Chain A
Amino acid sequence: MIKNRMNNRELSWLSFNERVLMEAADPSNPLLERVKFAAIYSSNLDEFFMVRVSGVYEQLSAGDERPDQSGLTPRALINDIASRSRRLNDLQQDIFRQLKVELEREQIYFPDLSDRHFDDILESIFLDEIMPVISPVTVDPSHPFPFIYSRRMCIIVELTRNNKPYTSLIMIPETLRRAYKVRKGKKVYIFTVEEIIKKHLHMLLKGYDINRVGLFRVTRDADLELTTASSEDLLRSMQRSLSQRKKGDVNRVEVSGDIAESSLEFLQRMVGFTRTQVDFVNGTIDLTFLFGLSELKESLMFPPFKPRPLKRLEGGADIFDLIKEKPLYFFRPYSSFSVVTDLIAKAAKDDNVLAIKMTLYRANKNSRILASLLEAARRGKQVSVVVELKARFDEERNIEWAKNLEEAGCIVTYGIVGLKIHAKCMLIVRREADKIVRYTHIATGNYNENTATVYTDVDLITADDSMGRDATQLFNYLMGFTEEERWSVMRVAPFSLRSSIIAMIDQEISFAKRGESAEIIMKANSLIDEEIINKFYEASQAGVKVSLIIRGICGLKPGIKGLSENIHVRSIIGRFLEHARILYCKHGGAGIYCITSADMMPRNLNGRVELMVEVTDSDMKASLKHFLDVSLADNKKAWEMHDDKYTKLLPMNGEEEIHSQRYFLECEI
């Protein structure tokens, strides 16, 4: 019996974030893109501590000492997370230092503030922009220690006046920008707000002697818990929970490397955290501000690209006719998502369209799609939107959209209590020659025009009646119009998706056992579901060749003798966020291709409404095959997993370099 058959989810995630960080060190990426990867690393890690680490702390506080499938107890896991994230943070600061050197060559500087050269301008920034909005709190009996909000950069200052010690806290408001760019000729100098404040503390704390100064930033639990019992209360409950988000328990405290021990002890006493939760940063805390540097020089970014229009649409034929003739499909961001936005816009204006329905998980600001829905509702069409209020960190925007849609006369529902709506589906009901024709759009990615240019996804638009009927049934279910949970061609979580995947793997196992060639390829963001992993192990042992392209968390251990020697796992990290979820089974040569919104995680398969559909169009199947083949051949941006470690692949001697994302940008799939 092989012990610890699975990798730990949290550690596997840290490993993913390490791969992201290594993109910041990859000289083949343009310089400002590398800077951006360093920012992504920080942003990812914040979310990790706010959500995932909170869960582990909850286990700990509940007294759970049982080891998980990887053999780790919650306590051991917390320690592992702390030590690994510290190591990665140090690495990140090293990379940032190196990036700063390279940025200087491009005339972008992070100058030392002791350089008096910038005194005047920095003083102006401080006096005009910063000072009016900050209020130091000097702690004394009449000024108690303030609540420290999550992810707010803070300065702690030890002071004396008349030989009496004081401690002052400055919380930098969110309204202030994090970095100020000062341009001198072609040169750009960047200063962080905390450094500017530090430099001018004497103006802020007049009459005090400033002894020691340190920076800190706490990260709190932001996983919302909704206690509502009915969907009618969902909106109100969500609004209530959001106001609590910033007040969760502390999970991490980043402090500047130069913070005084006395300041740290004071904070520990007042805020309430352990030393395990402290991360000393020898450099700049919170590099998410580096996102703001990307516009500095276009030449230091990835060359701009324009998503390809769909060839089938070039002739100017009616899109509804084209879809009826044959399904439309495309791969984001290589092909333009405007197919979908244009389709909705057209539907909104089309007199024959009776109804439009869609799920909304994460929409962007100024969404054209939502504007079209508003227009459709104003034109008297029946517009139904199932809004997922629980889309993490997009809750407020979704609440806002929900209100706007309702005001315009759309039917807005908030899904089902206890289940997140993660399925991406749209349905257009159109009357054509007095008959009803239903157009269904199914995708692996959200209805978000911004992420559609950054995330890789697959979209399918079809007029297939079985699909339309199932989509109708899906919306009926999501909107509380029916209790029926049966679908004919769609596989829907939490009802039939898991069992369908298991059945498909079982089919391959039976092919292998009969001595036939059997193969499975799965592309997903995460794989941590124990049942699915065990089924893959079973498949491997039966002789099925399993290739997994898992961008992020992977609980499966590939290549282990007697367990998983037929399984290969790779992860692609590149310019675009790999997001398409595809499942292929050889099925005796017939080749079954499915696209799905679900990741292979218990939360997706048990606690979310997710969709999976089989692709039947032969052209689309061929495209999916091509897409998977190229992804599996990538030797430029792919990492291969061995046990729980990843190694970056490189072209072998004489081997052609294959950079899948670049390939898809250049060649039509």
Chain B
Amino acid sequence: MKTERIGIINVGASAFRMYIGEYSGDSERSLDYLVKPLRIGTDTFTQGYIGLENVKKATEILKIFKLKLEEYGIHKYKALCTSGVREATNQDFFLDYTHLHSGIKLEVLDPSEEVYIKYVGVRNSVPGFSTLEQNGLVFANVSSGNVTLNITLKNKLLYAGTLPYGSLRMRQMFRSISHIKRHKAIEEYVRKMIVSVVATLDPEIKCSHLLGAGSSINLMLRLFKPSGNIITREQLEEIYARVRMMSLVELTEELGLRKDEASVLLPTIITYLQLMDIVKNDYFSFSRLTFPHTMSLYYSGRIKDTHLSSRIKNTLISIAEKYRADTKHARWVNYFARKFFDEFSDLHSLGRDSRVILEASVILHDVGKYVSDDALATNSYHIIKSLKIPGLDSKMLLMAAAVVYEGNKTFHEKEPQEYASMTSAERLTIRKLAGIMLISKALDMGNNRHITDIDIQMSDQIIVYARAEREPYLEMYTFDHQKLLFTETFGTAIELRARISYD
């Protein structure tokens, strides 16, 4: 059985972490784990860029990590940065400088991918996760830079967002306020986050469970040393009452925390206490998996999201519902689109991700109507690209938005800015998927499911035989008018023929 070792480096807002795992078949062995505090987020969140001193310190840490890779003879590694680098205006300089001087090539992790990896990591490590999601789960990834929330009920994603309420960010925001009063400012700020999240939810909805993750968990572990995987409100309130007016020095001395940990203690406690207000239980559970460990499992293929596609589909439907789209129609069109995609695989030669993009485009193709019927393409485009869906990274969502735009655009709508930076291959994919979306949409143009199914015959030209209960006039007409993009993109003629079924 082949054994492989993977090194994962995570450049977070407050610390650099490294995990080295050895994988053989299904077994995993943790070889090494390093933590080096460096608060690059302090620079990013206050001045917008990472100062040169911290760039150099970061390089020194990465040199150490490189030694570790060499120690284990590892050539395969992933070095990923989160918000501390992602939000820095000198991100490119940081990546280039550190690469040049340490030899470690860093990549910036897309926020939605970050959330997704954390999500699947926790999903795989917390027993009964599906039941929790069924009963209503607030999954909170509380880290130094951001708080990411996913609220799920009955397997539908009710809320997904990455919010700039990370503990280090808050600490920096309120650093000029005396430590005697600082907790009040943080309380108020976190409250604002909670209120804005709750406002998007149905007031009747109450989730039963809070599940914490992120670097905040390490702090909780050091603080409470819990034997199980639960921290209660009572524990948090007790420690909060004790420490809320303490200075940094007092926190380090009294609680035996490192300085970097002590500085983010209050924002972390306050965030968890207030998150507990939106669930029924007076405790939160957590997973002990560190983010680098999770990434190691993820990139080595040891954790798989077996329900990914159905969960994405459910989430897309619930988003479509939220924007008052006709979800029955969306599901119907989606059915045809998938059938076309699978049948035309030799024609389009696109992969699994493109299929997911197509599904997202098809289900959400009408969401722009929520704003207005005018400029439907542009409205839908902006809505889709701003979504946060675990399992779909922002690039995929942008592609889905572009497919919808491409399919719905009218001659007076201005091309979105992001188009300029797309490659010709990406543009071609968009056109291919938009071509499929348009002919799929045409098959239920009347939103009445007259066409019950299709059969596809491929020869010199493609003939789609529509099985219908009655003559699908509107669909035939629309198909004929919408197939142009398909024909132009794939260079193949396509024709719809109806077969009416009689009793």
**Contact for B31 among A411, A433, A436, CB less than 8 A:** A436
Q: Cα distance A480–B22 when bound, in Å?
A: 23
Residues of B within 8 A of A465 (CB): 29
Q: For window 440-488 of chain A, which residues contact chain B by CB distance below 8 Å?
A: 465, 469, 472-473, 476, 480-484
Interface string of B1-37 (1 = CB under 8 A from A): 0110100000000000000001010000111111111
Contacts A469-B31, A472-B31; is A355 near B71 (CB within 8 Å)?
yes
**Contact for A481 among B5, B37, B64, CB less than 8 A:** B64
Interface string of B33-46 (1 = CB under 8 A from A): 11111000000000
Tell me the nearest residue of chain B to A472, going by C-beta: B32
Q: Cα distance A436–B4 when bound, in Å?
A: 10
Q: Cα distance A481–B260 when bound, in Å?
A: 16
Asked whether, in the complex, the Cβ of B71 is within 8 Å of the Cβ of A482, the reply is no
Asked whether, in the complex, the Cβ of B72 is within 8 Å of the Cβ of A354, the reply is yes
Residues of A within 8 A of B24 (CB): 435
* A481 nearest CB across to chain B (Å): 5
A434: Cβ under 8 A from any B Cβ: yes
Asked whether, in the complex, the Cβ of B3 is within 8 Å of the Cβ of A435, the reply is yes
B67: Cβ under 8 A from any A Cβ: yes
A431: Cβ under 8 A from any B Cβ: yes
Interface string of A403-421 (1 = CB under 8 A from B): 0000000010000000000
Q: For window 393-444 of chain B, which residues contact chain A by CB distance below 8 Å?
A: none
* A477 nearest CB across to chain B (Å): 10
A507: Cβ under 8 A from any B Cβ: no
Q: Cα distance A481–B71 when bound, in Å?
A: 13
Q: Cα distance A429–B31 when bound, in Å?
A: 11
Asked whether, in the complex, the Cβ of B67 is within 8 Å of the Cβ of A484, the reply is no
Residues of B within 8 A of A481 (CB): 34, 36, 64, 67-68
Asked whether, in the complex, the Cβ of B35 is within 8 Å of the Cβ of A483, the reply is yes
Asked whether, in the complex, the Cβ of A483 is within 8 Å of the Cβ of B37, the reply is yes
Interface string of B67-87 (1 = CB under 8 A from A): 110111100000000000000
Asked whether, in the complex, the Cβ of B64 is within 8 Å of the Cβ of A431, the reply is no
B258: Cβ under 8 A from any A Cβ: yes
Residues of B within 8 A of A43 (CB): none
Q: Cα distance A476–B32 when bound, in Å?
A: 9
**Contact for B33 among A355, A480, A484, CB less than 8 A:** A484
Contacts A476-B34, A483-B258; is A354 near B71 (CB within 8 Å)?
yes
Q: Cα distance A436–B35 when bound, in Å?
A: 21
Asked whether, in the complex, the Cβ of B22 is within 8 Å of the Cβ of A483, the reply is no
A59: Cβ under 8 A from any B Cβ: no
Residues of A within 8 A of B32 (CB): 469, 472-473, 476
Residues of A within 8 A of B64 (CB): 480-481
Q: Cα distance A476–B72 when bound, in Å?
A: 14
Residues of A within 8 A of B37 (CB): 483
Tell me the nearest residue of chain A to B17, going by C-beta: A482
A382: Cβ under 8 A from any B Cβ: yes
Residues of B within 8 A of A476 (CB): 32, 34
Q: Cα distance A476–B258 when bound, in Å?
A: 17
Contacts A354-B72, A429-B71; is A435 near B258 (CB within 8 Å)?
no
Asked whether, in the complex, the Cβ of B29 is within 8 Å of the Cβ of A482, the reply is no
Residues of A within 8 A of B67 (CB): 382, 411, 481
Residues of A within 8 A of B260 (CB): 483
Residues of B within 8 A of A354 (CB): 70-73
* Majority secondary structure, A binding face: mixed
Total cross-chain contacts (CB, 8 A)? 51
Of residues A429, A431, A481, which shows the largest number of chain B Cβ atoms within 10 Å of its Cβ? A481
Contacts A435-B22, A481-B36; is A469 near B30 (CB within 8 Å)?
yes
* B67 nearest CB across to chain A (Å): 7
Q: Cα distance A429–B70 when bound, in Å?
A: 11
Of residues B68, B71, B260, which shows the largest number of chain A Cβ atoms within 10 Å of its Cβ? B71
Asked whether, in the complex, the Cβ of B36 is within 8 Å of the Cβ of A483, the reply is yes
* A352 nearest CB across to chain B (Å): 10
Contacts A354-B73, A434-B2, A465-B29; is A482 near B34 (CB within 8 Å)?
yes
Number of residues from A at the complex interface, CB < 8 A: 20
Q: Cα distance A482–B36 when bound, in Å?
A: 5
Q: Cα distance A473–B33 when bound, in Å?
A: 8
Q: Cα distance A587–B71 when bound, in Å?
A: 40
* Majority secondary structure, B binding face: strand
Tell me the nearest residue of chain A to B73, going by C-beta: A354
**Contact for A382 among B3, B5, B22, B71, CB less than 8 A:** B71
Asked whether, in the complex, the Cβ of A484 is within 8 Å of the Cβ of B34, the reply is yes
Interface string of B206-228 (1 = CB under 8 A from A): 00000000000000000000000
Residues of B within 8 A of A382 (CB): 67, 70-71
Residues of B within 8 A of A431 (CB): 73
Residues of B within 8 A of A472 (CB): 31-32
Q: Cα distance A484–B258 when bound, in Å?
A: 10
Q: Cα distance A472–B258 when bound, in Å?
A: 21
Q: Cα distance A527–B224 when bound, in Å?
A: 33
Asked whether, in the complex, the Cβ of B34 is within 8 Å of the Cβ of A436, the reply is no
Tell me the nearest residue of chain A to B222, going by C-beta: A486
Tell me the nearest residue of chain A to B260, going by C-beta: A483
Asked whether, in the complex, the Cβ of B30 is within 8 Å of the Cβ of A436, the reply is no
Interface string of B42-78 (1 = CB under 8 A from A): 0000000000000000000000100110111100000
Q: Cα distance A433–B71 when bound, in Å?
A: 16
Q: For window 206-262 of chain B, which residues contact chain A by CB distance below 8 Å?
A: 258, 260
Contacts A436-B5, A469-B30; is A484 near B71 (CB within 8 Å)?
no
Q: For window 339-372 of chain B, which residues contact chain A by CB distance below 8 Å?
A: none
Q: Cα distance A436–B71 when bound, in Å?
A: 10
Q: Cα distance A431–B64 when bound, in Å?
A: 21
* A79 nearest CB across to chain B (Å): 38
Q: Cα distance A411–B70 when bound, in Å?
A: 13
Q: Cα distance A429–B5 when bound, in Å?
A: 14
Q: Cα distance A480–B258 when bound, in Å?
A: 14
* B23 nearest CB across to chain A (Å): 10
* B13 nearest CB across to chain A (Å): 16
Residues of A within 8 A of B36 (CB): 481-483
Q: Cα distance A481–B9 when bound, in Å?
A: 13
Interface string of B246-288 (1 = CB under 8 A from A): 0000000000001010000000000000000000000000000
* B26 nearest CB across to chain A (Å): 15
Q: Cα distance A472–B33 when bound, in Å?
A: 9
Contacts A382-B67, A431-B73, A435-B22; is A482 near B5 (CB within 8 Å)?
no
Asked whether, in the complex, the Cβ of A482 is within 8 Å of the Cβ of B35, the reply is yes
Tell me the nearest residue of chain B to A352, going by C-beta: B73
Residues of B within 8 A of A436 (CB): 5, 22, 29, 31, 72
* A487 nearest CB across to chain B (Å): 12
* A479 nearest CB across to chain B (Å): 8
Contacts A481-B64, A482-B35; is A429 near B72 (CB within 8 Å)?
yes
Residues of B within 8 A of A473 (CB): 32-33
Q: Cα distance A480–B63 when bound, in Å?
A: 12
Residues of B within 8 A of A355 (CB): 71
Q: Cα distance A472–B260 when bound, in Å?
A: 23
* A587 nearest CB across to chain B (Å): 21
Residues of B within 8 A of A434 (CB): 2-3
Residues of A within 8 A of B258 (CB): 483
* B416 nearest CB across to chain A (Å): 45
* B260 nearest CB across to chain A (Å): 8
Q: Cα distance A435–B36 when bound, in Å?
A: 27
- B residues with a Cβ closer than 8 A to A are 2-3, 5, 22, 24, 29-37, 64, 67-68, 70-73, 258, 260
Q: What 9 A-B pairs come out closest when comparing CB atoms?
A: A482-B34, A434-B3, A355-B71, A481-B64, A484-B35, A382-B71, A435-B3, A482-B35, A483-B35
Interchain residue pairs with CB less than 8 A apart (26): A354-B71, A354-B72, A355-B71, A382-B67, A382-B70, A429-B71, A434-B2, A435-B3, A435-B22, A436-B31, A436-B72, A472-B31, A472-B32, A473-B32, A473-B33, A476-B34, A481-B34, A481-B36, A481-B64, A481-B67, A482-B33, A482-B34, A483-B35, A483-B37, A484-B33, A484-B34
Given contacts A435-B24, A472-B31, 8 further A-B contacts (CB under 8 A): A429-B72, A433-B3, A476-B34, A482-B33, A482-B36, A483-B36, A484-B33, A484-B34
